[in-house]
Chain A
Amino acid sequence: MAYSKKVMDHFMNPRNVGKIDQASGVGEVGNPVCGDIMHIEIEVKDDIINDIKFQTFGCAAAIATSSMVTEMVKGKTLEEAEKITNRAVAEALDGLPPVKMHCSNLAADALHEAIINYRQGQGGVAEVAKGCCQEQPETNCVKITE
């Protein structure tokens, strides 16, 4: 398994691990492909993600994408965070091995779930509810759900 230097860095030294006291939004997604789980908590103030933490049960790629997504959206507006795609996370890590592309689904999806959860608490409208695979039908996910 050839991982990029960036993946190994985020895996060995993950950023923003843990939980937030009194989080404003919580998202958790499971990966139907390999059984992994990712949990993200956000603290939002004035539409800005002030703080974000993650916990992930999964491979090095899953941990690295989780860590990377938290780094990418910390300090960003909710609108900006909603636009983060799985592909963008993978690209920020200098790519993932093809068999590991599905792992990046976890991170962006958990983030989007956390935002939905926050908006629901705020009386906003839930709009993003992507499951694994829907965004990247070319990944391995499709095979498994057959």
Chain B
Amino acid sequence: MKAIYMDHSATTPVDPEVLQAMMPYFNEIYGNSSSAHSQGQMAHQALEQAREQVAALIGATPVEIIFTAGGTEADNQAILGFMTHDRQKKGKHLITSSIEHHAVLHSCEYLSKHGFELTILPVNEAGQIEPDTLKAALRPDTALVSIMHANNEIGTIQDIKTLAAISHEAGAVFHTDAVQSTGKIPVDVKELGIDMLSASAHKLYGPKGIGCLYVKKGVTVGSYLHGGAHERNLRAGTVNVPGAVGFGKAAELAQQQMSQNIVHLKDLSLRLTKGILDTIPNSRLTGHPVDRLPGSVSMVFDYVEGESILLMLDSYGIMASSGSACTSGSLDPSHVLLAIGLPHETAHGSLRLTMGKSNTLEEVEQVLTVLPDIIAKLRVMSPLGH
């Protein structure tokens, strides 16, 4: 039985070409990119090439890219680094949404416990922030608005261009967590009109532990990790050169393959969604029906619990994820599913299948042959719905 991996929103495998590009930077060109000698300079060159590749993917210029140790750090720096910077004179108020990744949500909540004021915007049942909701929340002292581009659980894509424009009208800086969208759908910082953006390599077939924060020229963000003068004094710490090289290569490949991947993934998602809705009663798609990540199929099944679904799927070699309380470790259901208005017990039955470029239609059909039986088996065991 060949394993079927459908958890690409959690992470992706490193593309063989990316791995190959990284290899020399572990023990052949191993210099510290800050060193003056030739080892250091070779590493430095590779780092700067990677910066160009990443910048090209999002329509930025290389000096606007700060390499970080992943999406979480980029989000922390965008929020904490920006709000606590001396030159941030606008005020102590910031706005985010109720469906953000915890990297954003917890950073904002941390600030709200330390003298800042936070507004968390609700979303509609498709998971989108209504422009009017943002308009009403903006204040003269709102310094920052942070709203994610695409959601990791339900796949919903926001109208970032509109939300950024509204924020700018009120004089606020706009940050977007684009960890799930970068490399999957077109992301152009100029076109979207944003000031800061977070991305992470491991969601686009690059390595884990490397990401970036884009900061538009003219926007001042403080450093978040304090120490040496790396990354133009904005991110201390010896730069992860092999990681950055991998991120750069992954960005380049993502750009080349994007349109073909989108067509392929939309095909798979359409078939999978329709197949599930047609064969499994009391099932629903969560998130926006159209404005969603091309490979993301997020469902809820009444009367059953997500972890049970995952373990049964795993016994058939199918790997997916769930926002159920029982899978969360914290024993609360996903805040995203609650934010789109699902009752606790419905959120309990959530299943997220996120496909990537190597998934096939045969794999989708394989999921469709086992999933209805799994749900049926669990429903027989359930005291609900009879």
Contacts and interface: CB of A to CB of B under 8 A. Distances in A.
Contacts of B303: 57
Given A60-B308, A99-B331, A37 B326 contact: no
A118 interface: no
Contacts of A35: 325, 333, 344-345, 348
Given A35-B344, A35-B345, A144-B331, A57 B382 contact: yes
B384 interface: yes
B329 interface: yes
Nearest to B304: A57
A18 B381 CA distance: 7
A1 to B, nearest CB: 7
Interface residues of A, number: 30
Interface string A96-134: 000100110000000000000000000000000000000
B121 to A, nearest CB: 26
B383 A56 contact: yes
A96 B348 CA distance: 20
Interface in A1-42: 1, 3, 8, 11-12, 14, 17-18, 28, 33-39
A72 interface: no
Interface centre among A3, A38, A55, A57 (most CB of B within 10 A): A57
Contact of A55 (B308, B332, B382): B382
Contacts of A33: 325, 331
A5 B333 CA distance: 26
A93 to B, nearest CB: 15
B326 A63 contact: no
Interface string B202-225: 000000000000000000000000
- Interface residue SS majority, chain A: mixed
B384 A37 contact: yes
A39 B383 CA distance: 6
Nearest to A61: B326
Interface in B322-360: 324-327, 329, 331-333, 344-345, 348
A98 to B, nearest CB: 10
Contact of B311 (A11, A14, A140): A11
Interface in A43-96: 55-63
A11 B308 contact: yes
A107 to B, nearest CB: 13
Contact of A60 (B311, B345, B380, B383): B311
Contact of B315 (A12, A34, A36): A12
A11 B329 CA distance: 19
B52 interface: no
A17 B326 contact: no
Given A59-B305, A60-B311, A63-B308, A34 B325 contact: yes
Rank and list the top 5 A-B pairs by shortest CB-CB distance, nearest first.
A59-B326, A39-B383, A55-B383, A34-B325, A59-B307
12 contacts: A18-B380, A34-B331, A35-B344, A36-B348, A55-B382, A56-B382, A56-B383, A58-B305, A59-B307, A59-B324, A60-B307, A99-B331
Interface of A: 1, 3, 8, 11-12, 14, 17-18, 28, 33-39, 55-63, 99, 102-103, 140, 144
